[in-house]
Structure formats: C-alpha cells, structure tokens
Structure 1
C-alpha cells in the first residue's frame, strides 16, 4: 500500500520543479538584459540630446557675436545728424513782417510725380493729361498760381520727406528710422511753431503726421487714417474728402489745414503708374482740387505738393529722376505770385516750356514767412522767390525775405560747433549784413546786390552743411568690422581645422568658458564706462562689446589651450591639398566677395550669380563623364543638364534696377500667363518631388499626404488667389464680371489666411508629431507555411532626408503664397534645383564639400533677384504685408514682407542639413551625423560672413563715394539682415529644432 505517491511520480515532480526553475531564471535573465538594453538606450538617447544641445549653444554664441558686430558697424556707419534743440522766436524782431495769409490749406498728394500734372502730347501713358487743373491755372492765372518742379532729397520715403518739409533740414539715410516707433519729432518745425503762436492746425489723412506732430495738431479737427496698407487705394482718400470740405466750409476753428492723400502712392505700389487705376486716381485728385479752389476765400493760401515721385514700377526710396521730381503748386484768389527766371530753369522738350525747380526744404522758410511765424531754427532752405515778387509785393519784400532766411541760417550755424568757424561763409554773411543795414537806411540801390549775396550764401551754406554734418563713427565701424572678422576666423578654425572627433568635448568647454568670460568682461566694460564715460560709447554698446570680447576669448581659449597656433597653421597648410571642387568653391567665394569692391559689379550681381551657378553646372556635367559606371554617368549628366537649363530659364525673370538701364529689360510683373503657369506648377512641382522621392522608394508614409495632397492643393489655391487679384485689377474683367470689391477682398483674405494657417501652423505641428516617410512591406505574408516572414522597409535608404524635406515643403508653400506669380514660379524652380543639387552631391560625393554649400547659397541669391527683388529700398514689395490683413497687424504684416523678400534664403538655409541627410540609411553614430551637419552649417555661415565682411569693408572704404547711399549702403544692409536671418533659420530652426527632431526620432526607432 502506498499513500498515493510512487517513485515515478516523485521523480516527475522533481524534474518539473527543475524545469520551472530554469524557465524562471531565463525570464529573469531576459528581463535583466532588456532592462540593461533599455538603460543603455536611454543613456545614449540622453547623451545624443545633450551633445546636440551643446552644439546648438556654441552656434548660438557665434550668431550672437555676428549680430553684435553688425550692430556696431550699423551705428557707426548709418549717419545720424545732431539736431540742435533751439527753438526760433521773434523776440529779437527777426521775423518777416510783410503781409501774410489768414488761413492756409496744404494738400499733400503722396507720390505726385511732376509729369502727372503737366501736359504731355500724344502720350500712350494712362497717367498723362489726367490731372490738368494745376497746369491750366499756372498758364491762365499766372498772378494767382505757381507751378514748380519740387526736388526731393533722397532717400525718397514719406516720413523722411515730411521731416524735411516741416523742419527745413536734410534727414540722413536712416534718420527717419528712429521715428518709425511713432515718437514725436523733437526738432523745431513750422507745425509746432503754428501751435505755439496759437494757430490751430487741423489735419486729416496719412497718420504719419500724427505720429510726428500729434501734440501740435488741434485734436478737435484731427482725423488720421492708417497709411501703410498699400493695397488700399481708397480708404484714406475717401476719408480726407469726407472731412476736408466740412472743415473748410463749415468750421472757423482752424488756421492751417493739412490733408494728405495716399491713393496715388498706393496705386503706384500696387499696380505701377501705367494701370488704369492710376488714371482714375489722378482724375479724382483733379476734381478734389477744383472743389477746394471753389471753397476757399480770398485770404486763404492753397498749397499742393507731392512728397516724392515714383519710378516706372511704382516704387520710391531711391534717387532716380522720376523718384525725386515731385510737384509744388500754390494758389490764391488774390494776385500774389510773380515769375522768376533763374539759371536752374530748363526746358521740357515735349512742351518747350520752362519749369523752374526748387528744393523741397525751400518750402519751409516760404511757408513760415507767408503764415507769419518764425523760420524753424534748423532750416537750411531758401525762400521761393515767386512768393515774394507778386503784384502785392514790393522789391523790398524779396530782399527782406532773403535776409531773414539768411539770418536764420546764420543763427543756426553760429550755434553749431561744427559749422560756426567757417570763415568764408561767415565773411559772406557779414557782407549781407552790411547791405541790409544800408537798405534799412532807405538806400534801395543795394536790393539787387543783397538778393544775389543771399542766394549765394544760402547755397554755399547748404553745400557746406551737406559736407560737414555727416560724421561717420570710425571707432564703431572698425569695432564692427573687427568683430565680424573674428567671428569668421573662429568659424573657420572651429569647423575646418579642429578634428571632428574632439568637437563634442570641445563644445562644452567653449560654452562654459564663454559664459564665464562674458560675465567678467561685462563687469570690466561697465566699470570702464562708468569711470571714463566715453562720449561715443553708450553703456549699452559698452556691455555689448564686453559680450563680444567674452565670446571671442571664450571660444578661442579652449582651442588654443588644446592646440598651438603653429599646429593650427600646419593644419591649414595640410588643407591646401584640396580637390578640384573645394578649390572651385573657394574661387566662387572669393569672386563673390570681390564684387563689392565696385559699384559696377554690385549692380550686376544677379547676372554674376547666374554665371557662377552655370559654371558649377558645366563642371558637374564634365565630372559626370569620369564616373565608373555608365548608369551613374547617365544619371549625373542628366541632373547636371537639368540644373543648367533651369538656371538659365529662371534667369530670364528680371527686375532691373535704375543703374542697369538701358542694358536691362524688366520681365517681372503680374500677368495672366504667369498665373496659368502657376496652376500648372500645382501639378508639376509635386510630381517632380515625387519623382525624386521614388529614386530611393521614399514616397511612403507621410510623403503622399504632404506632397500629393497638401502641396498640390496649396499651390492651386494660391494660383486661385492671384487669379482673383488679376480679375480685380484688370479693367476689362473687373467691369465685365462686376464682382463687388468687398466680396473679392473677403475671398482673398480667406484664402491667404487659410493657406498660411495650414502651411505654417497645422502642417508644422503635424510634421513634428507625424510619421516618417517609410513603409514596412511583408514579402511572403500570404504563404505562412514557407518559413519566417521577410520584411522590407521601403524608404529606409533615405529616411532622414525624405522626412526632413517635408519641413521644406511646408515653408515653400507659405513662401509661395506671399510671392507674385512669376516669383512663385521662381520658387518652384528653386525647389527643383535644390533636389537636383542633392542628387549631384550624392553622385559626385561632395556632400560635405565646400562647393555644395556655395552652390546652395548662390541659389538663394539668384532667386532673390528672380522673385522681383534688388538690393534697393524701392524694390521691397510692401504690399505683400497686407495679404492677410487690412491693417498693420503684428506679426502677420511683417511675416508677409519677410517671406516675400527673404523667402529664397529661408528655403535654402533650411535645406543645408539635407546635404548630409539626403539618401543615407539610419546610422548607429548619430553624433557623427550631427557633426557633419554642423560642419555644413558653419561652412554656410563662413560664406555669408565673408560676403558680409567684404561689404562692411568696402562700404566703409567708399563712405564718401557718390553712390554710397544708392548702391553700397543698401547692399551692406541686405548682408547684415541675411547674417541675422541665417543664424535664426539655420542654427535655430534647421539645426536645433528640425535636425534634433529627425535624428532623435529615427534613433529611437532604428538606433542600436
């Protein structure tokens, strides 16, 4: 008998216990291994994130250094005139005492070019012979009216012109920039003088006046309208008309009335002067002028002026003839004006009539004396003789006006430290004083001599002021150049001379030492400033200099501590054994930098960049013949030819600057065929991108949604936007379809806001959180009995590049929105050229070669020009800031202008990481991958820094050149802006956000 257990059962139970024990230990071992693997993965992931962040911090320091350098140079170079705070008064009986008008109406018709108001026989231009009243009155009522050519001082921008028209001074190149924040003008002017003499100044129109003169304007009769929406042709003008005539006819509570119309200027910006809307605007202004003339009484002076003109594209800001020639018209119902034939009168060929010209600042003493107030203290203008030689004036009146204006200029000069010791000018005024004293003793024989001496004195004084007032701060200029040069040296040493294997460890040392030294130099510079109190160095700039010195020392110290200068020089010599492509890249950088040594080269930079790119394309074509397989030779030659042809085609799109005439024909503009091509681009561009993706089987995952759906529909809707704009602005279609303007405007606003919201908000959020461009394909899933499944990952070989490129697609669609049709077509070609370059870089093995970065940045410059831009103020498309909003709205207005002007640079800067990421599989060395991308990013920074340094040096060298403000200064400003944009786009968005997201995400999925 047994108790239920036998030997076999006992043995079996022991074996089962042993098996269960082995299974448990295996499970524990597997869990332990999994835990160790997970901890190792987490450690690598944290290390990857940490090293990527340290890379980004060092690049941030280099960016800050460059920005500080640009700020120092800008403050030293962009001229700032010292404004004397003195206020003119009549305490010493220095004011003109002759008769003046009780009331004055000043109408400013913005951008009223002189040929808009004179007859032009048999002209095909729609803007000619539409505003006829001014000329007719000057011919038929010569004693009651006066028509003069009104010459503006460049730059011809509204705010600067208003400053000159009210103070009599000559604002410097960026003098107006200090007032864009809406600060009240702090210089003596006739608006404030009217206010201080108890004259009520009524105002309606452009709100620039209230930004500058609001405390001096009679608030009960002030009706400002927002001025910068250049797409709105009617709101401001209709508002002026609505309030102008009730003020004139019904109100007695004003002495001086200002009305500022903007429709002509906005029409020029939006459509150009040849558009039918310009004719309508000029006709409207003609009707308004006639109505005003009918409304004023005999004791009211009417003054009509243009603040500047416009060029043939409708823009202004420069110094071409069409931009500086504006209009001055005066009218009174009582005979008040004479005629004065002067040497500066010249013949208009098509009429045979003499039109005398005067400077715009000459209006200031004239308007002051005609209204019975002191001439503003800083005035440099001279009286307009016709205003003081009419039937109601005696010969002594002109002499008195000339003397009082000269006396005011003398007072200004004697209070200026830089002007008071000019013996020649002072002696000339002593002669004027002697002649005036003799006339005061009733000796009228010297009246003519006095007038001649006064005119001579006023002209010489103006020229001397122009020569002496503009003081460059050479210390600031040299500091700025030195900082930029130091940043270039650091960038080259950091990216090219120091071995890449030590960069990750070096980054941390550079960052920590920089922070420490920045703190030290901040204290030092603050102490030096408080003790020495240097006149030309503010505390803010002293602290900025301390930061720059700290970054320079902090980044160089770890390098010099690890490597000697001799070693670095030897390393540099070793690098001289470069290949052909690197030498070509250096040659292109050198040539591009050298074009800033001549104004003739700068104005043809668009053609030069095109030539450089064609040179690369030809070299790539010849290089393709040396590849080892026929297939590679065929594919590479195809891409090279494609690059050459696309470069040549897009170079046809041109916007000529004034200096290129007559050797350049502008082809950029809005046209129906360009809009139709944009609709075709909505199909062909996504299809082209799909073709490039299919080379590596990467058109998977998120790619179809982004490219085939998102980009295609976005471009199509953008084409629809410009089609509606064309309908709105085409006279025939507008009248035929008869679609109400508010409906068209509402549809266009909806389209632009929808596209921007999708491309810049929804698409980028989706990109950050969305899937990769890969797909898992199970090869033998249907027959499960044939063994283990075979899995193929489609898109594996281009997993980095295909996913990163979707970010480029997002920004491309947003930038396409803000570019006019031809500019949008240029952007489409740019995307194709970037993809072609990526393929060439892969086939020719020049991914991290300098030439690839050089060609990329040359593409950005080429397409800057082919999207309708030049390095000039008047080439900025301000109207694109109002595609999403009717009024200035931060940041929508600013984004529109930035994306339109700098769109090609943004796309190219974001594309730099693709040179490394394109067509490579996941790597188990992500730090090395980030290092290669950083090398390309710093190479791009070095190239742009070379260009910036060259423009700074050449602009400083040619600071007294005749073309410095027309050519050199705008070009240096563009390079300064691009340097800042590069640091924000490449190092901020591209390297830190986008690259970090892609590498970490792929490392989490495929990392080992």
Structure 2
C-alpha cells in the first residue's frame, strides 16, 4: 500500500503548496484608472468614474493635447525607442571597470563618441531594473511605470494577457498618434491592440542569434522615413540570446555588440539627416543586464544594471554656456549638480520622463520620477536680465510637481482599494507639508512674476530645496510601493503550513507503521468523503465567509478535502500503532517504531544530518552557501560509511575502498567547476575519458547485478544494454562534432538518445502491464531498474553540457559505493544496520548535494534555459520544459532509480520494505516545511524576494518532483501488493 500513501501525500503536498503560494504570492492590486488631459493630477477626485474601465476608447481624445502637449508643453513629437535586450551597463560605458572582458568592453564606441562630441545632445545613465529581471516584467515597468510582482515570472514562459493598467502606448493611441513596433513578440502579447503596424518575431529560440535582429534592421530604417508614427519601438534580441547560449565572455558577444554598434551608428546618422530631427528623441536602453554566465531573472547588480542612452538633434541637457558671465557660471554650477545627482536612475523613471517630454499625461499607476537633468533646461530664449538657472529650476519643479501630484493621486486611489501602511503614508504626507511650506515661501519672495535681483540667490536656494523635497517624496513613494507590492493572505498561508506539517507527520510515521506484509486491511483514500466535503465548500457561495477558512471557493474546497483525507490517514495510522502495541506484549520484536525505529549509529547520523540541514535553512547566509553545507554533510556521510566499513568482518577491504571512493567523489565533484551548457567545450579530461568510464561501469554493473540476483539476462535486457552503450557512443559523437555545426549532428544525435531512453521506459512498462493482475513475478527486476538508470544518464549529460561527464561520474561513483556499503552492512549485521530508513535519508541528503554540483542553485539565474534547445532549433513549450526539467532535476531522478539498490537483498522479495522508501520524500518534505515556515515568518525581510522566496519555490518543486518519480518507481509493486491481498482473501 506504499504507493497509495505516496499518491495521497503527493496530492496533499500539492494542495498545501498551492494554498501557501496563493496566500504568499498575491499579485499587486491593479488600478485600472486612466490619466487624461482633461483631469488635472493635482485634483485627487478629478478622475471621472466612467474613465475606470481600462479601455483606450474610454479616454477622451484631445487634439489640442496632441499638438501642444498635455500637462506641460512637449519638447519632442516623436520618440525612437530602441531596446537592446540584456544591454548591461558596462557593455555601453567605457572603462567602467579595470577587469572588463575584451569580448564586451568598448564594443559600442559610437555611444562614447557621441557623448564626447555632442555633450548637450546625449546622455548615458545607469538604468536599474527592479527584480525579477525577466523581459516581460521589464516591459511592463518600462511602459506603465509600475513595479513588477514576483509571480509574474510565470508569465515569462507562457502566453500572457494584455496589460490592463494605464500605459504610454494607450495614451498615445488616445491622442490618435501612431505606434509602430518591430522585434520581440512579447510586445505583441502585451499590446496587440495598440500598434499601427507591427513586425513581431519569435523570441524563444535562444540559439537563434540573428533572425530577430535582422528582421528589426530590415524594417527599422524604412519605417523611420514614414510620417505616420509618433513612437517607433525596435526590440533587438541578439545580445540576450548570445548571453543565454554562449555567455557574455565569448567571441559571439563581441561580434553581436559590433553589429549593434553598426546599427546605432547608422541610426544616429539617419536621425541627424531627418528634416524634423530636432523633434525626435532617441532612447536606446537595456531592459535588464545579465550575470557572468549570461542568465538573468535575479537581483544581482549585473542583472539589474542596464544602460540608458538618450540623444536628440536638439539640445537635450543643459551644460551651461562657455562664457564668463555670472548667469552662465551659475547655470553651469546647478546643471552639473543636477546631472551628477541622476547618473543612476530606476527604470520606472523613464515612463514619466517620456510622457512629459512627449506631451502625454503620465500613466495613472506610475511610481517613477522624472529624470531631473532632462527638465533642468531653460527656455530657448531668456529675457534680458533674466536668470537661466531660475528658468531651468521653474521648468524642473513644474515637471516634478505634476509627477508628484500624479503619484499622490495614485496612492490615494490605491489606498481606497487596499490599505497602505499608515506610518509610511504619514511620512509621505509630512514631506508634502514641507513642500507646501517651501512653495508658500516662494510666493512670498516672488510676487507674481517680478522679483528684485537681490532676491535671486534666495529664489535659487528655495527652488533647489523644492526640487530636492519633491524628488525625495517621489523616491519615498517608490520605496513604499516596493514594500507593499505583495499582500499576504495569512489564512491561506496558515492552512498551507498546517497541511504541510500534518502530511509530514503522516509520511514520517508511515515508513514504519504501514507494513507491506499484507497484515490486516490496507489503507485506501476515502475518495467519497473527500469529494463530498470538498465539493460542498467549493460550491458554497463566495460571499459567505466561513470562519478560519480562505475566501476563495477553490481554496476552501482544498482545505476541507485535505483535512478529510488527513484525518482518515491519521486515524488509520493510530489504529495500526495500537495493533502493533498490542502485539508487542506478546512479541517485543514486532513493537511499533517511529521514523528512526532502532537506536543505531546510522539512525543517529541520519537524524543529525537531517536536523543540521533543516536548521541551516533558517539562515539566509546558509541558504546562499547551501552548496557548501551539503558538501559538508555528504563528506560527513562518507566518513560514517568508512567507520561502518571498518566494523565489517566480511568484505572489509572492498567496503573500505568503496567508502574512500565515496569520499573522493564527493570532494572532487565539489572542487570541479560546475557544468554549464552555455559555456563549455568538450575535452579529453572532462568529457571523453569520464564518458568512457561511465559506459564501462554501466555494462559491468549490469552484468554483476544479474549474477548477484540470479536473474537471467533476457533478450529485452540484452537489447536495452546494447542500446544503452550506443547512447554513450552517440553522446561522444555529438560533442566531438559540435564545432562542425552540421544540422544533422546537432538535431538528430540528441534525439536518438532521447528516443532510446523513452523506448526503454515504454518497453519495461509494457512488460509489467501485460502480466495478469494476480500473477507474481511481474515486478521489475533489480537489473532492469539498473538498466533504466543507465539509459537516463546519457540524456542527463546531454542537457548538462560537454563538461558534465566527470561530474556525473562522481555522482555514479557515489551511488555505487554507497549502495555497496549499505548492502554489506545490512547483510553482515541485520540487527544493527537492518533498518533501511536511515540509509534512505542519508542517500536523500547525498542526492541533494548533486543538485549543486551539477551546476544549479536555488535561484532563477541558475536555470540553464539553453538546455531546452539541445536537439531542437525551434521552441516547443513542452519539449523545452521537459529538457529544462531534466537538466535541473535529473540528479533526483537518478537518485530515485538508485533507491531499490539500497532496499533489495539477494533472493529477497522486491516489494519487501517498499514503504520504508517513503523516507526519501520525507527528507524533502521536511525541507519544504522549514522553508515555508521561515519564508512566512520573514515575509517582510529585506531579502525575502532575493533569497527566501526562490528557496521556497525550489524546495516545493523538488518535493513534488521526487514524490512523482518515486510514485512511478513504486507503480510496478502495486500489483505485487494486490497478489498478497488476493491470497489473503
């Protein structure tokens, strides 16, 4: 009945994680109100109710606004918006680091040349993105000015709905202004209705470095000559794809950046030659950066630090006139001060900046601030005797006040739907009172438009103070938004934690209390009760709030159904414990036992390792260094194995050698550079030699297992063994031929490996299923499980990359040596080492170390997306997802397939002790429980989104993956249990 318990636990864990996730990752409340030219942002109640429908047709058009500007006079009629995906700041800046790679350093010289030759017309800023740094979330921020939500990351790999919040494109269309787009098709999924013309290209094939960029370049320059656009968007993808496929430090990156430099050079020249070039603003920007291995999605400086380059044929920023007049000196002093204060800006700042420069209303939900240096510009002609600096300050403060009023209006509207923290909101209001005080002082000094020359220094000081305070308000508002971007549903979170803890108790105790010997009645899920209770609460009207239950019908139903199932399982386990307690009076040897039933050395060590790992999850420093923690725990396991080997009388030398091999493999795997598919080449030492060793081990261990178990090598097993050997040969050919870039080798060699593994799996399952239900001997033999494992190894290595064989060889060596020592110990001393549970827990810990040594971590940046394209040039959601899953979680699949080696003895029924294997997912269940509790307690911690939340997600996924894999492994034994129950009847 082990498979039934495991299936029930899998469903319960999925329900618990779903409940916690829906409570923890609720998305930010989206306000659908729209800004308009007719509604002043200073009037909080000025937005009409009928303008809150979320459609651009609801916005009143304004011909006057289109020609003159809306909230303030526009400076530019047209904007060229060029996105170079993953344009990291140091790709564009010159000499920003002494240790820059020559592959991307000084590869965009046209930007620096323009900055030097035309300082008043160009500006380069560090453009800081808010995590998560995924393209879709960045595009939302770049057009709405709003902050991303953590779980929006899920939309990055699937079709997404259009944006409903107010945005720049919607405001342009409301004024009958044209928008033309070309490039990454993510834009099309977000703004399909906003474009006058569009040329979208597939963005998912990261191995295609040129198609999208060539398509953009093909349409960009002809579209520039057409008069019907006001916003032209060009989104290049090549830099991002090079990063994902080859990393930033590669010759491909150098070539791609050289190509982008040529495009930008031609674009700048074209803008200078345009008749209306003074009315065009060019914005070249990166939506995010990239890490050292070319990935993004996290919160490191390399991933969030992008570049923003602005250029116009007309004067863009004030640098001060080159003369000796007091006005010029004064203007230059303040201009340099303003410019230096805004060298690094958040990405959301671009939205209000472009809106006001283009004569548009700032989108309603924007939290960004205008870039000060772009508005500290005096009128083209200053009255005789006037002050350029004062005129520039007046322009800047007008823009800042419009921006402030818009943000304040948004916060007021947001607070009516979702309560804001009173302390932070009061702080904003105190800053606003200071702003009003400074404005009153300015009115007193400057009555009307006249003032004495003696008052000029005071006016300039007051204007500077006003600008600082208004900018301070906007930055505090942005910080407030970041602190409340997620609302927590404590009820759903609490039920998720309760169900996780309860199911962990069930899984831990069932490893010993649930027997596989066929004694008494076997447990089966009470489906009728679960469906009835869950259904009643699911169909309960959503308006009825039941005490202590989530408001959502689905969540209510899950809580009720899960509790009904858990109560039944708990009742059954307590009954089993009572039965064993009664029998223990007659036979103490059969007394009921808990997770560590016998006080043994293995039990003590396993408990120590499990507890130490769980405690390490309560520290962000240990979570960051979890790979080192697991190396230490695996090494501890190795020395314990060495101690066990020394206590043996038989096979002591062989067991000692196996323990030393385990320790050596553990140390070597941690010392090696983790395999990474995007920046690896095949070598003799890391690829072909270990690949040959793995193939020899595969054949040798399979033959030895057949001799040990007494099985005969069937015709099917022989064919599988031959095909497995062929898979290793195909891997070698694929990696040796990879520099040739021949389509057949690149596409079909990996597919051959995949097909061999799938064919083996199908053949073994068919053999099991075709046996009569009550006929024994239909379970998979030990060597057939072994053959399936050896078939999975080449597929796993393919998606890890050509440097993976040595790391995988270490994992295989750990597996073989561990299972050999366990077999020897359990055979030599059944009373001391017979309990399999501690050994299973130790093996689970070792398998978790392999997750880190195979090049992964509990961060989204560690996902090797290029693995989804091994053997395929086009993107397929399911195939790419399966290959990425194999790349990320393949080590756990190998560990699960190795479990029967620990549990089987010579001439022992294979289903004996199957339920004790439940200790394997129990280890990961405890990790998920601790991570969930900690992330709930630290939900307001500074590092919650950078460290704790990704750790929780990975632990939850690992738990579900291991339980699913173990359920597939135990499926053949379900028929064996039916045989026993049938015989008892």
CA offsets per residue over residues 414-467 of structure 1, 9 Å max, x none? 112234963332343355457668489436835434322211211222222223
After superposition, where does 1:881-896 map in structure 2 within 5 Å? 881-896=868-883
Equivalence for 1:599: 620
Label 1:449 to 1:583 Cα distance change in 2 as closer, same or farther (>3 A).
closer
- Aligned residue number for residue 112 of structure 2: 135
- Asked if 1:838 is matched to 2:838, the reply is no
Map of 2:62 onto structure 1: none
* Corresponding residue number in structure 1 for 2:689: 677
Does the Cα contact within 8 Å between 1:167 and 1:189 map onto a contact in 2? yes
Give the secondary-structure state (helix, strand or coil) at the position aligned to 1:183: coil
Bigger CA drift: 365-374 or 840-849? 840-849
| Secondary structure, counterpart of 1:258 in structure 2 | strand
Measured in 2, the distance between the counterparts of 1:458 and 1:287 equals 38
Aligned-residue offset at 1:327: 0.5
Give, in whole Å, the separation in 1 of the partners of 2:859 and 2:615. 20
Cα distance in 1 for partners of 2:979, 2:815 equals: 24
Pairing partner for 1:541 from 546, 550, 555: 555
Q: What's the offset of the Cα at 1:334?
A: 1.4
Give 5+ residue unaligned stretches, structure 2: 42-69, 320-333, 381-390, 452-458, 585-590, 770-776, 827-832
**2:212 aligned residue (232, 236, 257):** 236
- Is 2:25 aligned against 1:83? no
Please name the residue that 1:792 is paired with: none
Per-residue CA deviations over 1:900-958 (Å, capped at 9, x if unaligned) read: 011101111233233223x53364xxxxx43511221x111211111111111112222
Q: Which residue of 2 aligns with 1:266?
A: 241
Q: Relative to 1, partners in 2 of residues 1:178 and 1:682: Cα closer, same or farther, differing over 3 Å?
A: closer
Q: Which residue of 1 aligns with 2:315?
A: 335
In structure 2, C-alpha distance between the alignment counterparts of 1:769 and 1:547, rounded to whole Å:
34
Q: Once structures 1 and 2 are overlaid, which stretch shifts more, 898-907 or 675-684?
A: 675-684
Residue among 540, 547, 559 paired with 1:527: 540
Q: What is the deviation of 1:124?
A: 5.1
Q: What does residue 442 of structure 1 align with?
A: 449
**Are 2:911 and 1:897 aligned?**
no
Q: Secondary structure at the match of 2:193?
A: helix
**1:690 and 1:699 in contact (8 A); partners too:** no
Determine whether 1:962 maps to 2:965.
Answer: no
Q: Secondary structure at the match of 1:92?
A: coil
Deviation at 1:487, TM superposition (A): 0.2
Q: Structure 1 847/971 Cα, relative in aligned 2: closer, same or farther at 3 Å?
A: farther
Q: CA deviation at 1:621?
A: 2.0
Match of 2:672 among 653, 662, 666: 653
Kept in 2, the 8 Å contact 1:506–1:558? The answer is: no
Query: For the structure 1 residues 223 and 504, does the alpha-carbon distance in structure 2 shift closer, same or farther, using more than 3 Å as the test?
Result: farther
The DSSP-based 3-state class of the residue aligned with 1:480 is helix
Alpha-carbon distance in structure 1 between the residues aligned to 2:429 and 2:892: 54
The 1:434–1:195 alpha-carbon spacing in structure 2 relative to 1, beyond 3 Å, is farther
User: Quick check: 1:823–1:866 contact (8 Å CA) kept in 2?
Assistant: no
How far did 1:63 drift? 1.0
Give the distance between the partners of 1:533 and 1:189, measured in 2 at CA. Answer: 39
Aligned to 1:57: 4
> Which moves more between the two structures, 814-823 or 948-957?
814-823
Are residues 1:196 and 2:212 paired?
no
Question: Which structure 2 residues correspond to residues 359-438 of structure 1 after superposition, within 5 A?
Answer: 359-390=346-377, 394-395=391-392, 396-417=394-415, 418-419=419-420, 422-432=425-435, 438=443
**Aligned match of 2:657 in 615, 633, 638?**
638
Q: Secondary structure of 2:183's partner?
A: strand
Distance between the aligned counterparts of 2:576 and 2:704, measured in 1?
44
1:97 Cα deviation after fit = 2.1
Give the whole-Å Cα distance in 2 for the aligned partners of 1:689 and 1:443: 95
Counterparts of 1:343-354 in structure 2 under 5 Å?
A: none
Cross-structure match for 1:461: 477
SS at match of 2:947: helix
Tell me the secondary structure at the aligned position of residue 891 of structure 1: helix
State how far apart, in whole Å, the 2-side matches of 1:486 and 1:611 are.
30
Alignment of 1:692-841 (within 5 A): 692-693=704-705, 696=708, 700-702=713-715, 705=718, 708-725=721-738, 727=739, 744-760=742-758, 762-769=759-766, 800-841=781-822
Cα offsets for 1:868-900 (capped at 9, x unmatched): 111111110001111233232142111110000
Q: TM-score, normalised by structure 1?
A: 0.81
Q: CA deviation at 1:717?
A: 1.4
The reply on whether 1:990 has 2:969 as its aligned counterpart is: yes
Question: Is 1:487 paired with 2:498?
Answer: no
Q: Distance in 2 between matches of 1:705 and 1:820?
A: 28
**Which runs of 5 or more structure 1 residues have no equivalent in the other structure?**
1-53, 347-353, 658-665, 728-738, 773-795, 924-928
CA contact (8 A) 1:410 1:429 kept: no
Matched, 1:115 2:90: yes
Contact 2:515–2:915 under 8 Å retained in 1: no
Report the CA distance shift for 1:585/1:419 in structure 2 as closer, same or farther (over 3 A).
Answer: closer
Q: Does 1:686 align with 2:698?
A: yes
Contact 2:296 2:861 in 1 (8 A): yes
Q: Which range moved further: 205-214 or 954-963? A: 954-963
**SS, match of residue 203 in structure 1:** strand
**CA drift at 1:580:** 1.1
1:225 aligned to 2:237?
Answer: no
User: In the alignment, which of 122, 135, 140 is matched to residue 158 of structure 1?
Assistant: 135
Alpha carbons of 1:323 and 1:293: their partners in 2 closer, same or farther (altered >3 Å)?
same
**RMSD in angstroms over aligned alpha carbons?**
3.3
2:516 pairs with 1:497:
no
Separation in 1, partners of 2:926, 2:372: 53
Looking at structure 1, the residues matched to 808 and 116 of structure 2 have their Cα atoms a distance apart, in angstroms, of 52
Call closer, same or farther: CA 1:470–1:309 in 2, change over 3 Å.
same
What is the rounded CA distance, in whole Å, between the counterparts of 2:863 and 2:172 in structure 1?
36
Structure-1 separation of matches of 2:195 and 2:690: 49
Once the 2 structures are TM-superposed, how far is the Cα of residue 387 of structure 1 from its aligned partner? 1.6
Question: Deviation digits for residues 93-138 of structure 1, max 9, x if unmatched?
Answer: 4543223322111000111111111222795522101111112211
The match for 1:609 among 630, 636, 639 is: 630
Moved more, 330-339 or 406-415: 330-339
Distance 1:210 1:289, change over 3 A: same
In 2, the alpha carbon distance for the partners of 1:342 and 1:943 equals 59
Q: CA deviation at 1:723?
A: 3.0
Q: SS of 1:214's equivalent?
A: coil
Partner residue in 2 for 1:789: none
Q: Measured at CA, do residues 185 and 771 of structure 1 come closer, stay the same or move farther in structure 2, by a change above 3 Å?
A: closer
TM-score normalized by the length of structure 2: 0.83
